[in-house]
Amino acid sequence: MLTIEKLTSGYGKLTILRDLTMNIDAESVGLFGPNGAGKTTLINAVLGINPAWSGKIIFHGEDITGLPTHEVARRGIALVPQERELFPSLSVVENLELGAAFIPHAKDNWEDTLEEVYSLFPILKERAKQPAGTMSGGQQRMLAIGRALMAKPKLLILDEPSLGLQPSIVNELFTILHDMKKKIAVLVTEQNVRESLRAVDRGYVLENGMIAMNDSSDKLANDPHVLEAYLGI
Ligand SMILES: Nc1ncnc2c1ncn2[C@@H]1O[C@H](COP(=O)(O)OP(=O)(O)OP(=O)(O)O)[C@@H](O)[C@H]1O
Ligand SMILES: [Mg+2]
């Protein structure tokens, strides 16, 4: 579905991603690594937010390298960014509607998708009329995920979705992610490696802008390096 081939990217003179190659099929994939490893940089390069200096990004057979973000979104990749980007003064339902507004294949039957999002996150239905900015942190995270789903993506990318959430909500979030992967492909970056390894099929470990490991969740969960560096054992 998504193939990244020998991607190099960075900021100014600073190279962050070096010859990075990875592949995501119809599955759920984790992207782990320490702070500053380049996880957000990688995601932003896929979305056309950061430039690819060299290498290729292929989605469903099409070269999308260098396409503007809205064109990438139209092709079926949705991002839930590390920093929430909601419209705080608009209501919950208005934010959700905007998630579909600029995506041709999502716009026409957005009300059906809305019901699906409401069944995933009932709190959003309860609070449909509430200004997004007055929702709690966890609720806003759910709204951000709901809004991304409104675009009917083939691939949903989540950048640190559990950051700042209390453990019970994190649990709920990973259960939802686990269920979601039956329908769409998911790429998720996470500090919470333990929980997310339960929710994903496979994971990449990114260190210093390079893939250090690439293995099934089971293998990663038992790997001595992962245990020591990411699971604190
Ligand atoms: N706009 C920018 N200009 C210059 N350097 C940047 C910029 N954004 C990120 N960086 C640098 O790029 C490196 C990778 O950052 P990135 O945000 O991709 O890491 P990350 O793996 O997502 O980390 P975290 O787990 O903290 O979110 C860091 O050294 C960071 O300081
Ligand atoms: Mg990041």
Instruction: For residue 208, give the CATH number of its domain.
Output: 3.40.50.300
Number of the ligand 1 atom closest to the C-alpha atom of 33:
21
pLDDT for 166 beyond 90: no
Domain for residue 148, yes or no? yes
pLDDT of residue 233: 66
Domain count, the chain: 2
- Domain end call among 108, 131, 152: 152
Give the least confident one: 97-101, 146-150, 229-233: 229-233
Confidence of residue 87 (pLDDT cuts 50, 70, 90): very high
Ligand 1 nearest atom to the CA of residue 206, by list position: 21
- For residue 195, what pLDDT is reported? 85
Burial class (CB in 10 A: 0-12, 13-18, 19+), 177: buried
Phi and psi, residue 60, nearest 5°: 50, 45
Q: Residue 85 pLDDT > 90, yes or no?
A: no
Same-domain pairing of 53 and 161? yes
Specify whether 31 is located in the same domain as 118: no
Domain match, 71 and 158 both = yes
Asked if 126 and 174 touch (Cβ cutoff 8 Å), the reply is no
The answer to the question of residue 173 being in a domain is yes
Are 94 and 125 contained in the same domain? yes
Which of 152, 170, 203 is where one domain is finished? 152
Mark whether 58 and 127 lie in a shared domain.
Answer: no
pLDDT score of 196 more than 70:
yes
Ligand 1 centroid distance, CA of 14 (Å): 10
Tell whether the model's pLDDT for residue 182 goes beyond 90: no
**163 and 215 both lie in a single domain:** yes
Residue 48 belongs to some domain of the structure: yes
Which DSSP helix (H) or strand (E) runs through 4? strand 2-11
Question: In this structure, is residue 81 part of a structural domain?
Answer: no
Do residues 230 and 158 share a domain? yes
Give domain status of residue 59, yes or no.
yes
Spatial separation of the C-alpha atoms in residues 140 and 88, rounded to whole Å:
9
116 with 217, same domain: the answer is no
* One domain for residues 160 and 229: yes
Classify residue 192: in a domain, yes or no: yes
Best of 7, 8, 9, 11 to mutate for ligand 1, by most ligand atoms within 8 A of CB? 11
Which of residues 127, 152, 177 is at a domain's end? 152
CA atoms within 13 A on the CB side of 33: 24
The answer to the question of residue 114 being in a domain is yes
Least confident of 6-20, 27-41, 144-158, 178-192: 178-192
Instruction: Specify whether 168 is located in the same domain as 72.
Output: yes
Residues with C-beta less than 6 Å from any ligand 1 atom: 11, 14, 16, 33, 35-41, 82
- How many Å lie between the centroid of ligand 2 and the Cα of residue 107? 30
pLDDT for 192: 85
Tell me, what amino acid is at 34? P
For the ranges 2-11, 14-23, 81-90, 128-137, which has the lowest average pLDDT? Answer: 81-90
Among all ligands shown, which has an atom nearest to the Cα of 230?
1
147 & 179 share domain: no
State whether 71 and 105 are in the same domain. Answer: no
Q: pTM score > 0.85 for this model?
A: yes
Nearest CA, atom 5, ligand 1: 11
* Max intra-chain CA distance, the chain: 50
Domain region containing 123: 86-152
* Integer Cα distance of 59 and 13 in angstroms: 28
Q: What is the distance in A from the centroid of ligand 1 to the CA of 40?
A: 7
> Residue 59 Cα, ligand 1 centroid: separation in angstroms?
24
Measured CA distances, 129 to 86, 88, 144, 200 (Å): 15, 12, 16, 33
User: Which ligand places an atom closest to the C-alpha of 208?
Assistant: 1
Structure tokens at 40: 């957000």
Check pLDDT > 90 for residue 163: no
Confidence bin at 150 (pLDDT 50/70/90): very high
Q: Distance between CA 202 and CA 215 in Å, rounded?
A: 6
Q: 144: pLDDT confidence band, cut at 50, 70 and 90?
A: very high
Each residue's pLDDT tens digit, 93-122: 999 999 999 999 999 999 999 999 999 899
Does pLDDT of 232 surpass 80? no
